[in-house]
A and B are shown apart, each in its own frame.
Chain A
Amino acid sequence: MGTRVGIVTLAQEARFQLVDDAGVAQLFILSRSAAAEPAQLPELQRCRTRVRVDYRAAPNLIALSAERITLLGEAGAGAP
């Protein structure tokens, strides 16, 4: 399982985009086994909290399956 750290910049349904500190964007789909709901993603985007995403490759998709999202408790650049 891989790991990426960054902030959520886009969220729609169970899909979200994570931009890491190097500015690289990656599309994730929240896995059915993750302990999070799609409804929580827009709040992550709004707060711009740094998160760590543990992921697996999604079969036949150019996206990653987010298995676990951990809040790092550190506000991003544009946090209110």
Chain B
Amino acid sequence: MNLHPRLGDDTVANLDAVIPDEAELTAGTKVVPGRSYGFFTDTTVCIGCKACEVACKEWNNLPADDLGLTGQSFDNTGALSANTWRHVTFIEQRGTAGVRAHAQQPFQSGWLMMSDVCKHCHNAPCMEACPTGALFKTEFDTVVVQQDICNGCGYCVPACPFGVVDLNPVDGKAHKCTLCYDRLKGGLEPACAKSCPTDSIQFGEVEDLQARARQRVDDLHARGVQSAYLYGVPDSPGATGDLGHLGAFFLLVDRPEVYNLPTAPTRASNRVKPSLATGLATIGALALLAAGFLARER
């Protein structure tokens, strides 16, 4: 049979040809099971090129979705979804929010850009909500959906305080960023971080990244950008409601809501006891009321 030459290409990765511990060369960190890895996204150097979105779609074989015009400026993907695991948020602002206010005209730097992603929470609410155990913590302290276990119940979707997890209506299962679990297992840096031309997305061990991020905030403060702060490190916005810290955290220069991030995210499981207590109290109150009416009738 005459087959197209492309069909003869080697479609299976030749692992012997992969540089061992490549992440050490590209991100300055060795990927070792048992340690915590994550992303530090410095939004002040994001240029909105969307290389991270493309790299994510390419590596993970994800289709383009949300077709058509969003009507929101340069934002073509709109939001994170089952098929978009990286989303560059474009925020158009009046003024400069204090950044280079004396150096440039406001219309020249009125953009905030942020590459959003699954936060890989330390105490992940999606994992707590999953009844089948499909969501699990990997050996790299990241949160991944195991597709053959997921039954598509969707409990993880409302449990996520960041609105990250989504169901794909075609296969009926939950999908989200895996922090390139397959690449980590091969000693590679995640695709989005590797493709970022300005190092806005930095990959590494979470503790190292947190120290690097604090240093960056100090530098920005020294340069006059007093609005810079971290979102998702311990004792900061984003790391609230027993979430611990976020594996993927951010350096922001405006309020979290501006970036479509919750100011004080919480675990859904924190609300179970109060909800149950409220329900029981309501039943008790209604029973007392009914007993009172019955007593009056007699």
Closest to A33 in B: B172
Does B16 sit within 8 A of A, measured CB to CB?
no
In the complex, chain A residues whose CB is within 8 Å of the CB of B64: 61-62
Q: Which residues of A contact B175 (CB under 8 A)?
A: 13
Cα-based distance from A73 to B21 in the complex (angstroms):
39
Q: Which of A12, A20, A62, A78 contacts B67 (CB 8 A)?
A: A62
Q: Is B171 an interface residue (CB 8 A)?
A: yes
- The answer to whether B11 and A10 touch across the interface, beta carbons within 8 angstroms, is yes
B66 touches which one: A10, A12, A60 (CB < 8 A)? A60
Q: Interface size class for chain A?
A: 35 or more
A32 contacts B152, CB within 8 Å?
yes
- Would you give the shortest CB distance from A48 to chain B, in whole angstroms? 7
B3 and A76 form a contact (CB under 8 A): yes
Given A15-B62, A17-B61: A30 touches B11 (CB 8 Å cut-off):
no
With contact pairs A38-B148, A77-B8 given, residues A21 and B170 touching in the complex (Cβ less than 8 Å): no
Contacts of A22 in B (CB 8 A): 4
Interface, chain A (partner B; CB < 8 A)? 6-7, 9-10, 12-17, 19-23, 25, 27, 29-32, 37-39, 45-46, 48, 58-63, 65, 74, 76-78
Decide if B9 touches A9 in the complex (CB within 8 Å): yes
**Which of B62, B65, B83, B171 counts the most chain A CB atoms within 10 A?**
B171
Contacts of A31 in B (CB 8 A): 170-171
Is A15 in contact with B61, judged by CB distance below 8 angstroms? yes
Which residues of B in the span 1-59 have a Cβ within 8 Å of any Cβ on A?
1-12
Kindly state whether residue B168 has any CB partner on chain A within 8 Å.
yes
The smallest beta-carbon distance between A23 and chain B, in angstroms, is 4
Rounded to whole angstroms, the CA-CA distance of A15 and B170 in the bound complex is 10
CA distance A10 to B6 in the complex (A): 13
Contacting pair B7 A77 (CB below 8 A): yes
Residue-wise interface mask of B (146-183) relative to A, using a CB-CB cutoff of 8 A (1 in contact, 0 not): 01100010000000000000001111110100000000
Interface assignment of B63: CB less than 8 Å from any CB of chain A: yes
CA distance A74 to B9 in the complex (A): 18
Contacts of A21 in B (CB 8 A): 2-4, 7
Q: Report chain B residues within 8 Å CB of A37.
A: 148
Q: Does B60 contact A (CB under 8 A)?
A: yes
Other than the given A14-B170, A27-B63, A62-B64, 18 more pairs (CB < 8 A) read A6-B7, A9-B7, A9-B11, A12-B60, A13-B171, A13-B175, A14-B168, A15-B60, A15-B62, A29-B63, A32-B152, A32-B170, A32-B172, A32-B173, A48-B7, A62-B67, A78-B7, A78-B8
Residue of A nearest to B59 (CB): A12
Contact of A61 among B4, B10, B12, B170 (CB under 8 A): B170
Distance A21 CA – B3 CA, assembled complex (angstroms): 6
- Residues on B with beta carbons closer than 8 Å to the beta carbon of A20: 4
Q: Chain A residues near B60 (CB, 8 Å)?
A: 12, 15
Please name 6 pairs of A and B residues whose Cβ atoms are closer than 8 Å in the assembled complex, sorted by A.
A9-B11, A20-B4, A29-B63, A29-B168, A60-B65, A76-B7
* A19 x B63 contact (CB < 8 A): no
A22–B7 CA distance with the chains assembled, in angstroms: 9
Contact A77 B67 (CB under 8 A): no
Q: Are A39 and B67 in contact (CB under 8 A)?
A: no
